[in-house]
């Protein structure tokens, strides 16, 4: 009897066997043509857990008959990358699949650059995070990005029926699938979880025939689903729900997901660190006290630890969730970085340059700079942007009481230039 879980046994080896993601796999799409012609480029597969990222990588390797290597960003380092690259020098068309590539740091991602650029390896990276933020720009520019969608109900049910028809172990059992709602709900749209849960339920019912109902599924799965796996996908699902609840200004849901993490033994510093990030990213200047409280929370829980740290976390979480929200600062730095990547190193205007040497002074470095505090109200209109970006507005205050005050001040100072 196979010891592999059902999801692994049912993993498709051919493109036509793939269920879901038709926007990528159907005839005429870029990926379909690339696989059929054997000219698959380096690519990033971005989507939620259990929607087919690893499966597509395996299909590509199988269809193009290429040497296939797999690394996990959780456990692999630069040394492992270099070993694969060295092997690729003596093989043709090597495919390197890296699961959770967003967890590679910059030096690990940089180690891939040369081999990808020269075509020694074809990189397939899988990520649940937005690659624009989690994959460095140099590597991302050398890869095609494909977005995988959540699996629809029809696709998930088709996976279960396919298993009943094709898997020898499941096929041999007298199964009556009367209801599927609980299977779909408890697996959360994750095809891998769905198939493995289905197998657990089938094996747990001793009846003949095996009648699968929502009540039976819930009863069997209850203990398993309540678990919180700090090293698995549920870790990311719950922290995602936690952050989105705070961002969505729901303190009730936020404190529930906080409790799930605490009961599961989540690292107190991990939770507090995410709160510090959120306080700036999602609240920002709408309430500057949020960042102060989140930072104090982080410092406090490091000293206190569990169980009392739960009270400090709850205070911070409920405050952040109840606060006014603004992502204006986050949007501003994203746009600024995009401009830097697009425009390169634009020269600093002469009057803003530092002039520590006589030569620099002779070259007029710093000449004409107006020291703001020498003017009424510590302000004088001056150009601080590179010439190419004159008048480019990057910070747009949010629509909230505190940032409205900032907007009024910016209107007074810079209204004509930046359009505040």
What pLDDT, in 10s, does the model give residues 327-350? Answer: 999 999 999 988 988 888 889 998
Domains held by the chain: number: 4
With H, G, I as helix, E, B as strand and everything else as coil, classify residue 200.
helix
List the CATH number of the domain containing 117: 3.40.50.300
59 shares its domain with 114: yes
pLDDT at residue 344, as a whole number: 85
Q: Length of the chain in residues, anyone?
A: 420
367 falls within a domain: yes
Helical pair 30-37 and 53-63, crossing angle rounded to 10 deg = 30
Is residue 77 located within the same domain as residue 98?
Answer: yes
Token duo for residue 249:
């200004």
pLDDT tier at 134, thresholds 50, 70, 90: confident
Cα dihedral across residues 404, 406, 408, 414: positive or negative:
negative
CA pair distance 393, 407, nearest whole angstrom: 13
pLDDT reported for residue 2: 47
Inter-residue contact 343 to 326 (CB < 8 Å): no
pTM to 2 decimal places: 0.55
Helix, strand, coil abundance in the chain, percent, nearest 5: 60, 10, 35
How far apart are alpha carbons 384 and 390 in whole angstroms? 8
Q: How many other CB atoms sit within 10 Å of the CB of residue 277?
A: 13
Q: Please report which confidence band the pLDDT of residue 1 belongs to, taking 50, 70 and 90 as the band edges.
A: very low
**Which tokens in the block code for residue 280?**
């700036």
Query: Tens digit of pLDDT for each residue in 398-407?
Result: 898 989 999 8
**Which of the listed residues 274, 306, 322 is the one where a domain comes to its end?**
322
Q: What is the 3-state secondary structure (H, E, C) of 232-274?
A: CHHHHHHHHHHHHHHHCCCHHHHHHHHHHHHHCCCCHHHHHHH
pLDDT score of 3 more than 80: no
| Domain ranges, residue 77 | 21-147
The answer to whether residues 123 and 73 touch, using CB atoms and an 8 Å cutoff, is no
Q: How confident is the model at residue 357 (pLDDT cuts 50, 70, 90)?
A: confident
Question: How much is the pLDDT for 240?
Answer: 86
In a domain, 143, yes or no: yes
Helix (H) or strand (E) holding 175: strand 175-177
Q: Which residue has the tokens 């505040």?
A: 420
Residue 361 CB contacts under 8 Å (≥ 6 apart), including other chains: 355, 367
Query: Looking at the domain assignment, is residue 333 inside a domain?
Result: no
Residue 237 belongs to a domain with what CATH number?
Answer: 1.20.272.10
Co-location of 368 and 407 in the same domain:
yes
Half-sphere exposure of 420 (CA within 13 A, CB side): 21
pLDDT tens profile 198-252: 999 998 888 889 999 999 998 887 755 444 555 555 677 788 899 999 999 999 9
CA angle (95, 99, 101) in 5-degree steps: 100
Residues 134 and 84 in one domain: yes
């Amino acid at each position: 009897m196979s010891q592999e879980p059902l999801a692994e046994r049912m993993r498709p080896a051919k493109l036509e066997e793939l269920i879901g993601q038709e926007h990528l796999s159907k005839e005429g799409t870029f990926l379909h043509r690339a696989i059929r012609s054997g000219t698959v480029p380096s690519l990033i597969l971005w989507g939620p857990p259990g929607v087919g990222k690893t499966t597509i990588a395996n299909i590509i390797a199988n269809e193009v008959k290429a040497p296939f290597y797999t690394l996990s960003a959780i456990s692999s380092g630069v040394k492992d990358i270099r070993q694969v690259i060295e092997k690729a020098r003596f093989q043709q068309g090597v495919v390197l699949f890296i699961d959770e590539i967003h967890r590679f740091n910059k030096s690990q991602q940089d180690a891939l650059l040369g081999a990808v650029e020269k075509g020694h390896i074809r990189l397939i990276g899988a990520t649940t995070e937005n690659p624009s933020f989690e994959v460095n720009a140099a590597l991302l520019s050398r890869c095609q990005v494909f977005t995988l969608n959540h699996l629809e109900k029809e696709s998930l049910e088709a996976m279960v029926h396919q298993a009943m028809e094709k898997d020898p172990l499941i096929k041999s059992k007298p199964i009556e699938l009367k209801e599927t709602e609980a299977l779909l709900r408890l697996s959360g749209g994750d095809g891998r979880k769905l198939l493995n849960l289905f197998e657990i339920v089938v094996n747990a019912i001793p009846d003949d025939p095996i009648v699968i109902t929502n009540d039976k599924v819930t009863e069997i799965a209850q203990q398993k689903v309540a678990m919180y796996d700090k090293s698995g996908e549920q870790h990311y699902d719950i922290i995602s729900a936690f952050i989105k609840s705070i961002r969505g200004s729901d303190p009730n849901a936020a404190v529930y997901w906080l409790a799930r993490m605490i009961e599961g033994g989540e690292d107190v510093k991990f939770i507090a660190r995410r709160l510090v990030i959120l306080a700036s990213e999602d609240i920002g200047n709408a309430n500057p006290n949020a960042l102060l409280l989140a930072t104090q929370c982080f410092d406090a829980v490091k000293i206190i630890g569990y169980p009392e740290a739960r009270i400090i976390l709850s205070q911070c979480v409920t405050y952040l969730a109840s606060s006014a929200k603004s992502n204006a600062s986050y949007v501003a730095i994203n746009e600024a970085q995009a401009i830097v990547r697009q425009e390169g190193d634009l020269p600093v205007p002469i009057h803003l340059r530092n002039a520590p040497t006589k030569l620099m002074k002779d070259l007029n470095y710093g000449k004409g700079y107006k020291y703001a505090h020498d003017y009424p109200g510590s302000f004088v209109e001056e150009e601080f942007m590179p010439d190419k970006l004159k008048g480019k507005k990057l910070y747009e205050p949010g629509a909230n009481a505190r940032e409205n005050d900032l907007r009024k001040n910016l209107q007074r100072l810079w209204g004509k230039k930046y359009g505040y």
